Structure 1
Amino acid sequence: MDYYHGRYRSVQVVDDSGKTIRFAANYLRPYISSLGVRGRFRLILTPENKFIRLERVA
């Protein structure tokens, strides 16, 4: 809920290879439910590592 209410500006996740990634929490807000954030996601970046989009994958 703290992420949903904007109390945190960034989130830290671990990708499938074990690499730690930090990005702005507001990109996850569309995926937050009463159960929190569930699922697998693909983070799309530019060649300069700038955010393009976050998409849920099956």
Structure 2
Amino acid sequence: MRRYFFNAMLSAEQCYGYYRGDIKNVVVTTDSGERVQLMFKHFQRFIGSDGIRGRFRLIVSEQGAFVSLDKIN
């Protein structure tokens, strides 16, 4: 398993793009400087009235398949 840590800040307006169908994926830059793309649907449970804000841990398999996304702060 590979673990990536990153901060994410998306405004409520950016999150609305997901519900309108405009946004399918999000590209984040991890603490190690790697760019990782994941489906926006994995962030859905973290959306609040002000959008998404927080520190996250992404776990993917050795083959790169999504395993989990957790808010860690």
Q: TM-score, normalised by structure 1?
A: 0.88
| CA distance 1:6–1:51, change in 2 (3 Å) | farther
Q: What is the alpha-carbon distance in structure 2 between the residues aligned to residue 17 and residue 44 of structure 1?
A: 14
Number of residue pairs matched by the alignment: 57
**4+ residue stretches of structure 1 with deviation over 3 A?**
none
Query: Taking every aligned residue pair, what percent have the same amino acid on both sides?
Result: 32
Displacement of 1:48: 0.8
Q: What is the alpha-carbon distance in structure 2 between the residues aligned to residue 17 and residue 53 of structure 1?
A: 19
Higher helix share: 2
Gaps of at least 5 residues in structure 2 are 1-15
- Larger RCO (alpha carbons 8 Å, 6+ apart): 2
Instruction: State the superposition RMSD in angstroms.
Output: 1.1
Offset from partner CA, 1:2-55 (integer Å, 9 cap, x none): 12x152110111111221111111000000111111001100111111001100
- Select which of 56, 59, 63 maps to 1:44: 59
Gaps of at least 5 residues in structure 1 are none
